[in-house]
Amino acid sequence: ATGAARGDEERGLAEAWLAAGVSRGRLLAARAGGFLLALALVLAAMFGAVLASRNGEPLGPADAAGAAVALLALLAVVYAISLVASQLAPTRRGAAGLSFAIVVALFFANGFSRGTDGPLALGRYVSPFALLDRSDPLVPGGAFAAAAAAALALVALALGLVAAALAARRDLGAALLTRREPARPAVRTPARSALLGTIVGAELRGERGALVAWGGALALLALFTGALARAAVDAILVLPGFGGYVAALGGGDPYQAFFGFMLSGIVALAVAGYAI
């Protein structure tokens, strides 16, 4: 989504298409249609493999199709969120970071809303992941929640229309959220920052704001992981056969296994995403 809304502009493609008379709404609609078609093919292949490997389990084509449609509707919402974020940020990288932060916040808001009636329960009313949770056709006795999937589709459509309207209000290459720099006297002497002495240091100096934001986000993830560790591990240990498996992963300590999975895996993925 950020590639469609920002990447095309940074590569000069959007300028050429707009000069040819194509509207911004049509550009976004074409990009979204291509994404949804590719996503539908991927989901069809994935759940087709699920059906092929069911080994006698009571799972039918209708169940797999329901799970695919529910996931398609959710990812359409995520795509639309990224389209809106792309109108606010000045670069594709900034739009990707903003989209990532929003989606992760919505994911955790839904997770924290489970089993609570306090302020955290509001997450189940604002997170699209809560609507996905209502569909569980792959679970014995579960069912596909058509109303929840339709609600996700409507949310994706509404956000897509908002993104098109915002795109029409901004200049090509510009952003709706801009920071006004105060007037300062001209500086004609070299900066004394030691980081400017090397290529790597100069790059880090220019990215110091993003580094602080990513570091803060990972610190919050560590705090959330610590807060959830005992309840999550205790819930896993009551499942037959899972206690020994989880304990083996952590060298005999299930809590160490939980932290290793949550922090080592997710943090490594986040750091790799930032580096890329």
229-238 residue pLDDT tens: 777 777 777 7
Highest mean pLDDT among 71-75, 90-94, 183-187: 71-75
Q: Is the alpha carbon torsion for 158, 160, 164, 169 positive or negative?
A: positive
For residues 57 and 138, the answer to whether their CB atoms sit within 8 Å is no
pLDDT tens-digit map of 9-45:
888 888 888 888 888 888 889 999 999 999 999 999 9
Answer positive or negative: Cα dihedral of 234, 239, 245, 248.
positive
The mean per-residue pLDDT over the stretch 149-159 comes to 95
HSE (CB half, 13 Å, CA atoms) of 270?
A: 20
**Confidence label for 247 from pLDDT (cuts 50, 70 and 90):** low
Higher-confidence residue of 154 and 115: namely 154
What Rg value do the Cα atoms of the chain yield, rounded?
23
- Return the number of other C-beta atoms located less than 10 Å from residue 111's C-beta: 18
Query: What is the per-residue pLDDT across 43-82, written as a single tens digit (0 to 9) for each?
Result: 999 988 888 887 777 778 888 899 999 999 999 999 999 9
Distance CA 168, CA 174 (A): 11
CA 42 to chain CA centroid, nearest Å:
18
Alpha-carbon gap, residue 12 to 15, rounded angstroms: 5
Q: Nearest 10 degrees: CA dihedral of 8, 273, 110, 147? A: 40
Tokens of 99: 């989209």
Please give the Cα distance from 103 to 78 (Å, whole number): 7
120 Cβ contact list (under 8 Å, min separation 6): 109, 112, 113
Could you give the residue ranges of the DSSP H alpha helices within the chain? 2, 8-10, 13-19, 24-52, 61-88, 92-113, 123-126, 128-133, 146-169, 199-206, 208-237, 242-249, 254-259, 266-275
pLDDT, one tens digit per residue, over 196-231 is 888 888 887 777 777 887 788 788 878 877 777 777
| Predicted pLDDT of residue 84 | 92
